[in-house]
């Protein structure tokens, strides 16, 4: 079982020569399961387009998609997810609930005219919607649990756990807004999700000086990401949700800064194609 | 790319106790809000446990939260002997926090208490229930002040 990153850019896709090393596709992570019949996917940013082509080639018939939230950079790839256009495929979509509008209808806003020429009625695949947070999802020895996290609008984070390892996925998260320092983990946003995790994929969109003008936008500085890992006792930090204005060289400076702050959490930049063994 | 990914070492999985203690996001936000208020305020969770009160409240109740710790809210309130202006006990069903907790509506009341420092004080209390995104009841927040 392993994770594979198909997109780790934040906010908006950023193709071009300045982003070829770490990639320009927005958030999408595949969890490669022991069950070859099922594909588990986290978020549907533009990275999901290439993943979809691979799932078609593999002949995968059941796809379980967990969405952290419905901001476009986590959803816009869904419209170009090839398995949706196969009537033999079932796509189970899990996403944060709202008291007002169903998950299906909220996704439909981005998946219908005038933003897209088609809507769900014309999608041949079978679609099933589930609200989050809900009961943990299990497959083989893997358990996926979710909880609400600090980000504008209903947003969840995920914890993937096997008998031996745990990984937390928190791509859009601003825990500093409600406090990290002088807090026990139960009083930190998503503290239990990331507590003692071997690896945390965490929002580290900004340098500290950039964060000052963007406080409350729902994203973390590199210093907050490092501090968060320290506070919840996580072992390794994967810097995720790269700022679209940051080139590969900028990102490497960001990683240097993270290592300067705390090398012991082994801060590492997420990049497209990266795999993480569970 | 400069850094080769190293496989993480084996590590113990999360204990159920850690997950059980996790505070609901709305309570975390409420704590941050209350922490920054100059008005005394407290938070109780969905189980009726007092989980936080702020520095301004500490000045009124005469005890730091770090010393008091989490406890059932009703038990904590009893220690202050809430009573009416004629010194008769204030019925629990008239306590704003009880109303917010049991009837899930906002409530307000004026009553007398004896603080931990032994001083009698007349306070006003406003309490309201907290509902998260999915209309899930997650607790009660109350603010109070001396009259």
Give Cα B48 distance to the centre of its chain.
Answer: 9
CA distance A275 to B141: 44
pLDDT in tens, A191-246: 999 999 999 999 999 999 999 999 999 999 999 999 999 999 999 999 999 999 99
- Residue range A2-277, CATH number: 3.60.15.10
**Chain B 56-115, CB below 8 Å of chain A: which residues?**
none
Dist. CA A123–CA A87, nearest whole Å: 8
**pLDDT per residue over B100-130, tens digit each?**
999 999 999 999 999 877 889 899 999 999 9
Q: Give tens-digit pLDDT for A54-92.
A: 999 999 999 999 999 999 999 999 999 999 999 999 999
- Spell out the domain ranges in chain A: 2-277
> Which chain B residues are Cβ-neighbours of A198 within 8 angstroms?
8-11
Nearest Cα residue in chain B from A250: B1
Phi-psi region of A14 (alpha: psi -120 to 50; beta: other; left: phi over 0): beta
Q: A266: which chain B residues are within 8 Å (Cβ-Cβ)?
A: 6
Sheet holding A2-7, edge to edge: A126-132, A90-96, A62-66, A38-42, A28-32, A2-7, A275-277
Q: Average of pLDDT values for A79-107?
A: 95
Searching chain A, which residue's CA lies closest to the CA of residue B21?
A: A186
Q: What ipTM score was computed for the predicted complex, to two decimals? A: 0.80
Q: Give me the helix-helix angle, A248-261 and A222-232, nearest 10°.
A: 40
Helix runs in chain B, H state only: 16-21, 25-35, 55-61, 65-68, 73-78, 96-102
Least confident of A113-117, A234-238, B61-65: B61-65
Say if B16 is an interface residue toward chain A (CB within 8 Å). no
Domains of chain B: 22-146 (3.30.450.20)
Share of chain B above pLDDT 90, in %: 61
With contact defined as beta carbons under 8 Å apart, do B88 and B106 qualify?
no
Structure tokens at B119: 């001083």
Query: pLDDT value at position B16?
Result: 62
């Amino acid at each position: 079982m392993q994770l594979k990153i198909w997109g780790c850019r934040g906010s908006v896709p950023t193709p071009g020569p300045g982003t070829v090393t770490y990639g320009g596709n927005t958030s999408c992570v595949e969890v490669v399961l022991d069950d070859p019949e099922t594909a588990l996917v986290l978020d549907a940013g533009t990275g999901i387009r290439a993943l979809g082509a691979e799932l078609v080639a593999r002949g995968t018939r059941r796809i379980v998609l967990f969405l952290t939230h419905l901001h476009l950079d986590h959803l816009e790839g869904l419209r170009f997810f090839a398995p949706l256009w196969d009537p033999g495929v079932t796509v189970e979509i899990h996403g944060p609930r709202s008291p007002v509008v169903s998950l299906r209808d909220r996704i439909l806003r981005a998946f219908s005219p005038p933003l897209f020429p088609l809507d769900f009625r014309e999608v041949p695949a079978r679609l099933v919607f589930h609200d989050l947070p809900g009961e943990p999802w299990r497959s083989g020895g893997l358990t996926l649990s979710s909880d609400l996290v600090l980000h504008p609008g209903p947003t969840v984070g995920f914890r993937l756990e096997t008998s031996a390892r745990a990984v937390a996925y928190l791509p859009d998260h601003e825990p500093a807004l409600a406090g990290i320092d002088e807090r026990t983990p139960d009083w930190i946003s998503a503290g239990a999700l990331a507590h003692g995790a071997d690896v945390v994929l965490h929002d580290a969109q900004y340098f500290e000086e950039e964060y000052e003008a963007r406080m409350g936008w729902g994203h973390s500085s590199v210093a907050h990401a490092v501090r968060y890992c320290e506070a919840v006792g996580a072992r390794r930090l994967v810097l995720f949700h790269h700022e679209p204005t940051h080139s590969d060289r900028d990102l490497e400076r960001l990683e240097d800064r993270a290592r300067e702050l705390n090398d012991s959490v082994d801060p590492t930049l997420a990049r497209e194609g990266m795999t993480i063994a569970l | 790319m400069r850094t080769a990914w190293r496989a993480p070492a084996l590590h113990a999985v999360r204990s159920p106790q850690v997950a059980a203690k996790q505070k609901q996001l709305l309570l975390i936000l409420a704590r941050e809000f209350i922490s920054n208020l100059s008005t005394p305020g407290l938070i109780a969770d969905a189980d009726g446990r007092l989980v936080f009160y702020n520095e301004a409240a500490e000045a009124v109740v005469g005890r730091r939260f770090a010393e008091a710790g989490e406890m059932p809210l009703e038990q904590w309130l009893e220690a202050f002997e809430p009573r009416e202006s004629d010194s008769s006990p204030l019925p629990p069903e008239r306590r704003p926090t009880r109303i917010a907790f049991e009837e899930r509506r906002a409530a307000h009341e004026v009553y007398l208490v004896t603080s931990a420092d032994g001083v009698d004080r007349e306070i006003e209390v406003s309490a309201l229930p907290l509902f998260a995104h999915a209309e899930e009841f997650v607790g009660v927040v109350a603010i109070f002040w001396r009259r």
